[in-house]
Chains A and B, each alone.
Chain A
Amino acid sequence: MDIPSDLFYTKTHEWARRDGKEIVVGITAHAQEELRDVVFLELPKIGRTVKQREPAAVIESVKAAFDIYAPVSGTISRVNDAAVKAPQLINQDCYGQGWLFVITPASAEELTSLMPADAYSKLIQQDSAH
């Protein structure tokens, strides 16, 4: 399972990457594999304020719709329009072209409350053991 070491992770399977003062958000390879067949994205409007651990977007696969939670609180500054037009990018390149949205964080600390790669790796190993 691909879990890049330079990213931060949530228990709900989002990843967050520091990009200057902003935070880029997407879903992990594990989440992508569980969802399969992504066919529709509903991303937040630019300028919307989001709160950590609250729903910020929706991904629909053929099977069902899934909430995507904001990994940190802040303001949405960009969204991935290319992925809205081609939702299969989430399955094809979840850490690259399949990013979802960018948050200008309200504070710098929240990111450090997320999991580093090794902790996330342990979490999904426990998940799959069930």
Chain B
Amino acid sequence: MEKTALHERHRLLNAKMTDFHGWDMPLYYTSILEEHKAVRQALGLFDISHMGQVLVTGPDAAATLNHLMVSDLSQVGEGRACYTLMLNQAGGILDDLIMYRLGGEHFLIIVNCANRTSDVEWLQAHRQGQTTITDISRGRAILAVQGPLACRVLEHVLDARVTSLGRFGIAPIRTMGPDACIARTGYTGGDGFELFLPDHHAQRVWDLVLSEAKPLGAQPVGLGARDTLRVEAGLRLYGTDMDTHTTPQEVGLDWTVAINKPGFIGKDVLVQQKQDGVSRTFIGFELSQGPVPRQGLELQAAGRKAGVVTSGTFSPILNKPLGMGYVEPPLAKPGTELTLSVRSQRHTATVVKLPFWKGETKQPALTTPTPATERLP
């Protein structure tokens, strides 16, 4: 099984490990719910080095990505990022990813680990003009530092003004050489940062963040709480909530699509679907109490099947079970009551607007541009 540079740290912390798409990753260190609360109330430190890091460079890098992704890259300036989707010709989602513009024609994309190989092959096969695709994942790590204390702790640990980095901004960590960057992104719905580092820096940063922030209530966080946090924030998971048979509109991610952008892969189908409508809609729902809605369970309305659960969890912040899934479009309105049958007991599931949890609103203004001296090579 594949191991990250922090594998030994996880073992020393006595983490419960799990096989995640061939990677031996921490599921939890102490408790999923405790780690979840630490992220919401203080700070959580995640090793997400299993995710793929791919560089897309060259004079035609932007043209390639504009053709392959649904977002309009002209809207993404240097030192900025966007969440986007890569589609096949049928409009099906090949992957969801964050695309960072490090420089003019210099992009870093972070892809799901299960899709890394197929994504790189797809990028290679569809690259335009002079574009170089480089999978730089090996020998590199990603740490996510998430929670209301993230800014304060990282300012100290990195000795850098991370406060000036706006949401979805990215900048080099100058003290760590040209290959290390920090971005104000994450998968928890709250404030936080992701650090893309060569392996040899990862252990030191991991140790520094933990020793600095432990007295403030910080905890290392495993994939268990990473999942409960993303559900609470209404964030979709590739392979669970969507796959190649899902279109952006069905999964409620059509806001990422620049539908007027010329000729990107999958566009025709999306335009058609926008006219015709969809046969299923992605929703969030909550139970006032009861069991955890598990993937695959049926959602019913008027005594018949009307949808399916794709993700579910128990939220220790909202203190109730939450779920996401697909229903027939007329049933997607918030307030609609559906029935979830679990072990022959019926529970009422009420459709609610996503996200379930909105996060701290306190964000620094995005108007502060990244100083040119802080730009990446």
Contact = CB atoms under 8 A, between A and B. Distances in A.
A42 interface: yes
A130 interface: no
A36 B314 CA distance: 13
B291 A36 contact: no
Interface stretch (A1-9, A56-64, A103-111): A56-64
Given A42-B343, A62-B314, A36 B290 contact: no
Interface in A20-67: 36-37, 39-40, 42, 58, 60, 62-65
Q: How large is the interface on A (under 10, 10 to 19, 20 to 34, 35 or more residues)?
A: 10 to 19
Contacts of B188: none
B292 interface: yes
Contacts of A37: 31-33, 314
B326 interface: no
Contacts of B28: 36
A36 B32 CA distance: 8
Contacts, number: 39
Contacts of B345: 42
A40 B33 CA distance: 13
Q: How large is the interface on B (under 10, 10 to 19, 20 to 34, 35 or more residues)?
A: 10 to 19
B31 A60 contact: no
A42 B290 CA distance: 9
Given A39-B292, A39-B314, A42-B291, A62 B33 contact: yes
B207 to A, nearest CB: 26
Contacts of B33: 37, 39, 62
A40 B32 contact: no
A62 B224 contact: yes
A75 to B, nearest CB: 21
A62 B291 contact: no
A60 B32 contact: no
A43 to B, nearest CB: 12
A100 B313 CA distance: 23
A63 B314 CA distance: 9
B294 A62 contact: no
Among B27, B33, B228, find the residue whose CB has the most chain A CB atoms closer than 10 A: B33
Interface in B242-272: none
A62 B228 contact: yes
A62 B313 contact: yes
Given A37-B31, A62-B33, A62-B292, 4 more contacts: A36-B32, A37-B314, A39-B33, A65-B294
28 contacts: A36-B16, A36-B28, A36-B31, A36-B32, A37-B31, A37-B33, A37-B314, A39-B33, A39-B292, A39-B314, A40-B290, A40-B291, A40-B292, A40-B321, A42-B343, A42-B345, A58-B291, A58-B343, A60-B292, A62-B33, A62-B224, A62-B313, A63-B27, A63-B224, A64-B294, A65-B291, A65-B294, A91-B31
Interface of A: 36-37, 39-40, 42, 58, 60, 62-65, 91
